[in-house]
Structure 1
Amino acid sequence: MNLYTIDVNCDVGEGVGNELELMPMISSCSIACGGHAGNAETIKETIRLALLYRVNIGAHPSYPDRENFGRKEMDISLDKLQQSIEDQISSVQNELRKSVATMNHVKAHGALYNKAAVDSKTAQCLLDAVKNTTKDAWLYAPYGSVLAKIALEQGVKVYFEAFIDRRYNDDLTLVSRDNPKAVIMDSKKVLKQLLRMLAKHKVKTIKGKKVVVKANTFCIHGDNSNAVRILKYLSKKLPNYGIKIT
């Protein structure tokens, strides 16, 4: 039986310490690179694990704000932000070169991801940093976002990303983590959201509306306390629907 394959990505290297359990069950990872979390040692170790399990490697830059884990917008000039993003991506890029490996993608984190999705200046700042530090890397970006639109116009390769463990607003922004229902912890509900995205290209918002969403890659957060349990469940159940993570 030939299974339909999907890319499931996970944010890693953020201090949770569950990478060894996660890597065998995902196909792409985005490594924290010093902005909101991570350092040279964690980057090196996470890359080692990713290569061991043949997981595609990406950089996960953010606002340079470790205090707030990159989850709040910063009052920072675009020049300083671009330099920080370039430094973060380069920290992963340099370690990859030592391993004779290549960067698969770049995916912004937290508030930077959300801001770039709707603000053209922030989006351009991120794109300039990506173009200055990578060659032929994919950009993981939300479907229908300002970031994706500008990237495609400028010839940057885009993977539309959807979140299987987060709840959405009607405008396809993510529900704030201040809301206790923002993160989906139940494995069955995560599977249901993923299957709806795959079969119907829609997501059910927190208000019950079904909105069109397209995705080439599906994210589960490594800092979700149930991430390992959810991925074990998906790995077991997805083949029943003719789907495989690879």
Structure 2
Amino acid sequence: MLDKSQLSNRPKMLDQQAEIAKFDDLAREWRDPKGKFKHVLAFNQTRLTAIEDAIAGHYQRDLTQDVCFEGLSILDIGCGVGLLCEPLASQGADVTGIDASAYNVLLAQRHAKSWSIKVEYQHCLADDLLNKPLQYDVILNTEVIEHVDDQRQLIDVCCQLLKPGGLLVMATLNRTIKSYLIAIIGAEYVMGYLPKGTHDWRHFVKPQEIDNMISRHGLTTIKVEGMRFNPFFNQWKTCRQPDVNYLLYAQKPL
């Protein structure tokens, strides 16, 4: 027979299970290629492929191998729900994902656990990692800098956390008239791919501005490539023109 203390705990336990189930459903929804986040997933898959190619080229790894990134440490700053962290960890990398949103971190943790993928998720800011004697082979900063007020500080932290010889990957939006028309007017107000007000065009960053900020730490830009959406084929692909979305790859000197 249950005593009063056990009875009083039962509703709380049931509520906790309901919350866990809710997070599991959201984690699955984020990764549903036919769900409401399908456009984000398609964009992410193209970006992931480009990043994998860049890491493999930088560290001379064979992408046909099952654990081609084994031995590499990767930090994903602003990891969201782990859309980049999990596939990179599945290829053998030691991945740490950090995010300012505790909600995102919880979703990421739940999904990684359900698929037995080892990722170290932390609810913190990049600055918090400066207190630890850690540096990483690869640092990812994707779709974050355009949401940050002190962009130079974020770049400074990225450069400090990167190992000598390491690879920095920045993905963001260029501050051009075209990006305003496509990324804000088109994506947010016409097509509804993103909620209205997601981006502020004034915070978009030109590739040369990132290059200037990283050069203070001795980093050299290796490559800049754009990303373009084809509405007729409903596909994202990389391209030479970085006038809207783009990826910038930089190396830290040994």
Determine if the TM-score, normalized by the shorter chain, exceeds 0.5: no
Specify which structure has the bigger relative contact order, considering alpha-carbon pairs within 8 angstroms and separated by 6 or more residues.
1
TM-score (norm 2): 0.31
